[in-house]
């Protein structure tokens, strides 16, 4: 398989700066928190109307652009801050032709036998365009808001068993299952998906890596410096090899490329220009309460300081000042961004899940100026 480029579908809303954009991770072990993540200063700004709500019209426009521009799939987030990923992407099937949908969802909020059936239906209706992003959840508080009271490590153990049941159901033969979290008697998915959707899975904790080694077809990680990403890839690869598996590896990162590096840096600074120190402090305190190991790794890159946002060549961590999940962006000239992506590819990354503010315009910028260089 060749290198794949995916884009992000902002089902929590879009904007031109971090004062207005809702956020979501959509992968791994840090789920988005609530809409309270928006800095309070935003509502006082005269240009607050620049926010783009996640209407069906806008999401259709973005999905069709991604389809036409050659992105393989669009990732949808999951969490209290955004629209439901299954319903939203199902509404976009008929509006697109070849684009796949990387649908994020959380085990524990739905029974695995039903999830297997839902995925099979989606796969048939979309003519094989479903990819599954399994998110165990990195916030105990948000999980409790859904009625789920399991802690971090137990959620990963449950996710592993959940995927055991789903994969068993996809065989299309009668089965029973009895485990710590699920019991299925006389289960039988009479119309299994063809092909079975690829499973994407992320997380930086030991329990997460254990599940990834067992089940991930593609292991996803966030945009840390190349050497840290390479180290994580090596660890997952060894764990998976011990089980006779060879997953692909994906990188979730924002991109901001311009004709010159200077212009790119200026535009990056504009993303956070309206964030005052109080908003950043509040955002950092909130994100530090999450149980996600991956989120802590993101926060440790910059420590909440504006003077420590350049954490590696062309890798800027300004988004992580107030946003959970993928908190870094590759910022620079078109050639610089292409070169940095090539370095990640050389380190073992097979797929890139990209995004930028606003998502529609940046999807065009990357497809027209950066991807041809790769």
In terms of residues, how long is the chain? 374
Is 82 a residue whose pLDDT tops 60?
yes
pLDDT, tens only, 83-133: 999 999 999 999 999 999 999 999 989 999 999 999 999 999 999 999 999
Q: Give the Cβ contact number of residue 1 at 10 Å.
A: 7
Is 38 a residue whose pLDDT tops 80?
no
Is 28 a residue whose pLDDT tops 60?
no
Please tell me the pTM assigned to this model: 0.90
List residues bridging with 255 in a β-sheet: 330
pLDDT the model gives residue 157: 96
288 three-state secondary structure:
helix
3-state SS record for 81-131: CCCCHHHHHHHHCCCCCCCEEEEEECCCCCCHHHHHHHHHHHHHHCCCCEE
Note the helical H segments in 45-95.
Answer: 56-69, 85-92
Q: What is the mean pLDDT of residues 319-332?
A: 90
Is 207 a residue whose pLDDT tops 90?
yes
Is 241 a residue whose pLDDT tops 90?
yes
The structural domains of the chain, with segments of one domain joined by +, span 4-373
pLDDT, tens only, 39-79: 333 333 334 334 899 999 999 999 999 999 999 999 999 98
Q: What band does 26 get if pLDDT is binned at 50, 70 and 90?
A: very low
Q: Which of 158, 104, 139 is nearest to 32 (CA)?
A: 139
Q: In the predicted model, what is the mean pLDDT of the chain?
A: 90
pLDDT the model gives residue 37: 35
Q: What percent of the chain has pLDDT over 90?
A: 75
Is 19 a residue whose pLDDT tops 80?
no
Of 289 and 102, more confident? 102
Fold observed for domain 4-373: TIM Barrel (3.20.20)
Q: Are 28 and 204 in contact, with CB atoms under 8 Å apart?
A: yes
Of 350 and 297, more confident? 350
Distance CA 330, CA 12 (A): 22
Q: What is the mean pLDDT of residues 213-237?
A: 97
Highest mean pLDDT of the ranges 39-43, 238-242, 290-294, 308-312: 238-242
pLDDT the model gives residue 143: 87
pLDDT the model gives residue 314: 98
Q: What band does 20 get if pLDDT is binned at 50, 70 and 90?
A: low
Range of lowest pLDDT (94-98, 204-208, 292-296, 351-355) = 292-296
134 three-state secondary structure:
strand
pLDDT, tens only, 153-163: 999 999 999 99
pLDDT, tens only, 132-188: 999 997 788 888 899 989 999 999 999 999 999 999 999 999 999 999 999 999 999
Q: Which of 341, 221, 337 is nearest to 268 (CA)?
A: 337
pLDDT the model gives residue 364: 98
């Amino acid at each position: 398989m060749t290198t794949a480029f995916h884009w992000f579908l902002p089902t929590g809303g879009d904007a031109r700066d971090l004062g207005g954009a809702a956020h979501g991770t959509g992968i791994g072990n840090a789920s988005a928190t609530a809409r309270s993540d928006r800095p309070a200063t935003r509502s006082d700004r005269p240009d607050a109307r620049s926010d783009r709500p996640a209407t069906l019209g806008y999401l259709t426009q973005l999905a069709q652009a991604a389809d036409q521009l050659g992105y393989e799939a669009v990732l949808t987030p999951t969490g209290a801050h955004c629209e439901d990923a299954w319903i939203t992407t199902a509404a976009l099937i008929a509006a697109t032709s070849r684009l796949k949908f990387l649908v994020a969802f959380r085990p524990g909020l739905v029974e695995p036998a039903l999830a297997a059936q839902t995925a099979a239906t989606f796969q048939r209706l979309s003519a094989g365009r479903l990819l599954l992003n399994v998110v165990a959840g990195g916030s105990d508080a948000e999980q409790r808001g859904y009625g789920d009271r399991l802690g971090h490590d137990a959620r990963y153990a449950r996710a592993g068993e959940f995927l055991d049941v789903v994969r068993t159901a996809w065989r299309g033969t009668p089965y029973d299952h009895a485990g710590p979290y699920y019991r299925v008697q006389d289960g039988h998915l009479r119309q299994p998906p063809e092909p079975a959707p690829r499973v994407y899975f992320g997380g930086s904790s030991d329990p997460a890596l254990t599940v990834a080694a067992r089940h991930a077809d593609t292991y996803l990680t966030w945009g840390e410096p190349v050497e840290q990403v390479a180290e994580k890839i090596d660890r997952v690869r060894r764990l998976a090899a011990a089980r006779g598996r060879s997953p692909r590896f994906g990188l979730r990162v924002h991109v901001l490329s311009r004709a010159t590096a200077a212009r790119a840096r200026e535009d990056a600074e504009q993303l956070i220009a309206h964030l005052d120190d109080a908003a950043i402090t509040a955002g950092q305190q909130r994100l530090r309460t999450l149980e996600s190991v991956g989120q802590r790794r993101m926060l440790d890159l910059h420590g909440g300081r504006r003077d420590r946002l350049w954490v590696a060549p062309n890798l800027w961590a300004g988004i992580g000042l107030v946003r959970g999940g993928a908190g870094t962006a590759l910022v620079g000239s078109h050639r610089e961004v292409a070169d940095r992506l090539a370095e990640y590819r050389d380190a073992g990354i097979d797929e890139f899940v990209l995004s930028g503010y606003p998502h529609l315009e940046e999807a065009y910028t990357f497809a027209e100026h950066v991807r041809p260089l790769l």
